[in-house]
């Protein structure tokens, strides 16, 4: 059995989509959700599927005890699904990690570029398309090897909210499948 731990800070729609996708999978299992915000919606979503939630903070991420806890879970892949803290190098070197970013990297990536900030920048720049990038995680924001991209067309009059909906549709359609292929070594 391959084990996934999801790191999430927000509402958790991507985390729930991933948990649901693998809920009855014969060889992949979500063993925990790591969260750094006590009121994040992802906590309720994880509880709905009886997935344990591990609360953390920036300091804990740096600790050997936290890394040991992940090793005890026999983690094969850490999935970032809206986790807003920079992952320390001690974790990126110890575990394979992937993230989904709401733009076509290398455009609109880096510190502070998440969620509506990305969508606002894409619209302001009058881009013709946007999309998602699923990439490996290293010690720099959005600089890991690109594994997969999918795009959507921007239409005149699209708002950041409308673009966000298009991006969520792409994330939900592709992120679990890319994770599955990665874990099953088919990619």
User: What confidence tens digit (pLDDT) does each residue in 40-92 have?
Assistant: 999 999 999 999 999 999 889 989 999 999 999 999 999 999 898 888 899 99
Residue matched to tokens 């699209």: 158
Which portions of the chain are predicted below pLDDT 50?
Answer: 186-187
Domain boundaries, the chain: 1-95, 100-187
Do 139 and 89 form a contact (C-beta atoms < 8 A)?
A: yes
pLDDT at 116: 92
Catalytic residue among 101, 116, 168, 174: 101
Assign domain 1-95 to its CATH architecture: 3-Layer(aba) Sandwich (3.40)
Residue in 107, 97, 98, 118 with CA at minimum distance from that of residue 166? 118
pTM, to two decimals: 0.94
Q: What is the pLDDT of residue 53?
A: 97
Question: Looking at residue 140, what is its pLDDT?
Answer: 84
Superfamily of the domain at 100-187: Formyl transferase, N-terminal domain (3.40.50.170)
| Close Cβ partners of 106 (under 8 Å, ≥ 6 residues apart) | 142
Largest distance between two CA atoms of the chain: 50
101 catalytic residue (yes or no) = yes
Q: Rounded CA gap, 88 and 93, in Å? A: 9
What are the Cα distances from residue 20, in Å, to 25, 36, 179?
9, 22, 13
Question: For position 71, what pLDDT does the model report?
Answer: 95
Same CATH fold, 100-187 and 1-95? yes
CB 113 within 8 A of CB 100: no
């Amino acid at each position: 059995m391959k084990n996934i731990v999801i790191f999430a800070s927000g509402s958790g729609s991507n985390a729930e989509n991933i948990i649901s996708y693998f809920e009855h999978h014969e060889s992949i299992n979500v063993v925990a959700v790591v969260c750094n915000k006590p009121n994040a919606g992802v906590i309720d979503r994880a509880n709905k599927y009886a997935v344990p939630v591990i609360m953390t903070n920036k300091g804990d991420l740096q600790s050997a005890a936290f890394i040991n806890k992940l090793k005890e879970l026999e983690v094969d892949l850490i999935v970032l699904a809206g986790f807003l803290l920079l992952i320390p190098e001690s974790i990126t070197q110890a575990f394979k990690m992937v993230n989904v970013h709401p733009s076509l990297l290398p455009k609109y990536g880096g510190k502070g570029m998440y969620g509506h900030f990305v969508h606002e920048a894409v619209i302001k720049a009058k881009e013709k398309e946007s999309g998602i990038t699923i990439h490996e995680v290293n010690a720099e924001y959005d600089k890991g090897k690109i594994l997969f991209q999918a795009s959507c067309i921007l239409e005149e009059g699209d708002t950041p909210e409308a673009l966000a909906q298009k991006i969520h549709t792409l994330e939900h359609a592709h992120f679990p499948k890319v994770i599955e292929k990665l874990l099953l070594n088919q990619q």
